[in-house]
C-alpha cells in the first residue's frame, strides 16, 4: 500500500513540477538552476541539486546536452582542453535555453560550470576506476610486479623478501605464497589501493598492519584491504559516494580521490574492527556489513567529507 502511495505521489509531483517551476520563475525572476546555484552551498548540496534538475528537465536541448556529456565522460574524454570546451558548451547551452543574461548574472556561469565538472567528472571517475578493476594482475608485466614489490618494501622496510614466491607474503595478509591470485576480484585496482595507502599514509598503514598482527583481533591485512576496495568501488558505482566526492574535489574528481576514500575506509574499518572485539576472523562478514551500513548512513549527509583523522591508538 505504501509503495502504491509513493508511486502515486511521484506521478503527481511529476505533473505538478512544471507549474511549480513556472510559478517560482515568475515570482523570483530566476530559473530553477539559478535558484539552486545561488541558494545551495558549493559542493555536494549544489552539485546534487543541479544534477537532479538537469536529469528531470523536459527541454529537448537540455536532454541533448545531458546525452553529450554522458557520452564524453563515458568515453573518458572529459580532460584537458576538451574538458574546457565541453564545460563552455554546457554553460552556453543553459544560458541560451534558460534565457539567462551572463552580463547580469556573471556568477551563475562559474557556479554552474563547477557543478558540471563535479557531475560528469564523477561519471568519468567510475570509468577510470572500472578500467583498473578489470585489468587483471599479470605476473609477466614488470609494472605490476614492481608495484607488488613496492608494497612489500613500504610495509616491511626492515625485512628483505626472500624470493618472489614465498610464505612471507602472508605477513602482510595475503592468503598464500603468491599474491597474484588474491587480486582476481578487484584486479589492479586492489593493488593500487594498497600501495597508495602504504605510500601516502605510511603512519596509519603501519598502524593498521600492526593491528592485523594482534594475537586476538588479528586479520589478513591485504585480503581485508582488497575487500574494502570492493566496498569503495560499489559505493562509487551506485552513487553513494557522490556527496563525499563532490565535497572534497576542488576540480575534476580523479582516481586520487577514490584512493583517498579507500584509505579512509581502511583506517576506519580497522578501528571499527578492534572496537567490535571479534571472537575470530569468522566475524568478518558481519562486522564488515555493520561498518558498511554506518559509512552509507554518513554518506547520506550532503555535507559529508570523509578524511582520515589520525589518532594514537593502542590495543
Domain boundaries, the chain: 31-123, 142-299
pTM of the full structure:
0.90
pLDDT at 312: 46
Is residue 257 within 8 A of residue 194, CB to CB? The reply is no
Q: How confident is the model at residue 279 (pLDDT cuts 50, 70, 90)?
A: confident
Is residue 134 within 8 A of residue 102, CB to CB? The reply is no
Residue 314 reports pLDDT greater than 70: no
pLDDT at 141: 97
Pairwise pLDDT comparison (262 vs 9), residue with the higher score: 262
pLDDT at 309: 78
For 105, what's the count of Cα atoms within 13 Å in the CB-facing half-sphere?
21
Amino acid at each position: 500500500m505504501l509503495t502504491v502511495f509513493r508511486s502515486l505521489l511521484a506521478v503527481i509531483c511529476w505533473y505538478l513540477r512544471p507549474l511549480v517551476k513556472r510559478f517560482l520563475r515568475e515570482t523570483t525572476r530566476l530559473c530553477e538552476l539559478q535558484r539552486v546555484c545561488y541558494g545551495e552551498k558549493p559542493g555536494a548540496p549544489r552539485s546534487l541539486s543541479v544534477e537532479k534538475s538537469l536529469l528531470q528537465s523536459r527541454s529537448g536541448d537540455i536532454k541533448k546536452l545531458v546525452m553529450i556529456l554522458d557520452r564524453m565522460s563515458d568515453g573518458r574524454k572529459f580532460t584537458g582542453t576538451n574538458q574546457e570546451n565541453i564545460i563552455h558548451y554546457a554553460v552556453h547551452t543553459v544560458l541560451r535555453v534558460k534565457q539567462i543574461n551572463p552580463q547580469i548574472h556573471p556568477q551563475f556561469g562559474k557556479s554552474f560550470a563547477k557543478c558540471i565538472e563535479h557531475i560528469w567528472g564523477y561519471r568519468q571517475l567510475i570509468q577510470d576506476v572500472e578500467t583498473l578493476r578489470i585489468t587483471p594482475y599479470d605476473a609477466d608485466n614488470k609494472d605490476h610486479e614492481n608495484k607488488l614489490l613496492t608494497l612489500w618494501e613500504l610495509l616491511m622496510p626492515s625485512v628483505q623478501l626472500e624470493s618472489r614466491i614465498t610464505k612471507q607474503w602472508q605477513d602482510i595478509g595475503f592468503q598464500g605464497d603468491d599474491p597474484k591470485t588474491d587480486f582476481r576480484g578487484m584486479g589492479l585496482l586492489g593493488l593500487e589501493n594498497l600501495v597508495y595507502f602504504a605510500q601516502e599514509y605510511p603512519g596509519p598503514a603501519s598502524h593498521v598492519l600492526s593491528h592485523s598482527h594482534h594475537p586476538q583481533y588479528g586479520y589478513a591485512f591485504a585480503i581485508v584491504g582488497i575487500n574494502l576496495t570492493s566496498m569503495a568501488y560499489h559505493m562509487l558505482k551506485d552513487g553513494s559516494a557522490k556527496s563525499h566526492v563532490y565535497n572534497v574535489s576542488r576540480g575534476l574528481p580523479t582516481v586520487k580521490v577514490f584512493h583517498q576514500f579507500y584509505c579512509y575506509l581502511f583506517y576506519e574499518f580497522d578501528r571499527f574492527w578492534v572496537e567490535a572485539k571479534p571472537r575470530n576472523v569468522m566475524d568478518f562478514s558481519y562486522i564488515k556489513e555493520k561498518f558498511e551500513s554506518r559509512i552509507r548512513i554518513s554518506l547520506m549527509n550532503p555535507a559529508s567529507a570523509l578524511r582520515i583523522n589520525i589518532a594514537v591508538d593502542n590495543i
